[in-house]
Structure 1
């Protein structure tokens, strides 16, 4: 089956966005000549799966749509009219469960899906659909916002194996974790 893969930045205090979904705290670390591993990661996936909050945030960046690969937005609130006309060939909506979506993507030939957005990542983790996570720790404390990991209704602990740690001159630290056990594969 298609495997899920995460590549996300997190503040030192565990947030992936401010309460208003702003990512302004990442701006000092973003430069076109410094991708911190993102380009290689994007080359390794067939497309993206994100939630509606992440989709709205990316739309709010303005300018060109940053993804050349297909994007699937998991949402129960968005409608096709919420997708800008210029993106309708590259962005689709789905109300499927993570497992149903991954089965469909597998039938469509996807091998690796980039899973993005806090709630979507947590739902894929709960269903045992994440193979590995690249988490970039950003040396900033933002105090409050949207947590990557918070309370999760798990059947069992999710065990992670640290695969690699890479430190960048910018102060960012990228850690890759393999998900070694999945709660969906355990007895309750």
Structure 2
């Protein structure tokens, strides 16, 4: 099973502001930068509870009919989501991957600050595409956090876009997923 991250960050490395808002990522004048193609390649989305709560404020459910797994050890109210496949699970990243693999999922999109950090620290991420938005926000929710050991990255490509986005793709020397 392949686990990938596709995210936007400020140049100073934040996924979101301290209040979880993402307004600095919304750059209307930006050209397409590969998200649609990436999204088409995944068959399940794995997000954390806080990311899920932010997504609920968008008004429209952004994931369509793709299965979404929300990670939380506390009960969630999923009743407001109509016409979507959403479930809650909890556990260590390796346990979650084992559950997803048992259900024949092949490619998971891992999203949300703490969720990305936990899966990285567990050595389970295979690919990262990080798009830097040309803005400094000073504080917020970082993409990276403490890790138990060095994580080797293999540079695949760096792309620049007319609107100032800089996107870097890495393959990680992730251990074999369960």
- State the TM-score, normalizing by the size of structure 2: 0.91
Aligned residues: 175
Judged with a 3 Å threshold, the aligned counterparts in structure 2 of structure 1 residues 145 and 119 are, in CA distance, closer, same or farther, namely same
How far does the alpha carbon of each residue in 1:36-67 deviate from its partner, in whole angstroms, 9 at most, with x for none?
110000011111000011111111111x2111
Q: Aligned runs of 1:9-88 on 2, under 5 Å?
A: 9-27=8-26, 29-30=27-28, 34-62=31-59, 64-68=60-64, 69-79=66-76, 81-86=77-82
Q: Who is 1:165 aligned against? A: 158
Q: 1:37 to 1:85 in 2, by over 3 A?
A: closer
* Aligned equivalent of 1:136: 131
Mapped to 2, the partners of 1:109 and 1:12 lie a distance apart of 37
Unaligned stretches of 5+ residues in structure 2: none
Structure 1 unaligned residues grouped into runs of 5+: none
Q: CA RMSD in A?
A: 1.8
> 1:101, 1:138 → 2: CA distance?
31
Q: 1:82 Cα deviation (Å)?
A: 4.4
Cα 1:36–1:86 change in 2 (3 A) is same
Q: Secondary structure at the match of 1:22?
A: coil
After superposition, the Cα gap between the structure-2 partners of 1:125 and 1:83, relative to the gap in structure 1 and judged at 3 Å, is farther
CA contact (8 A) 1:21 1:57 kept: yes
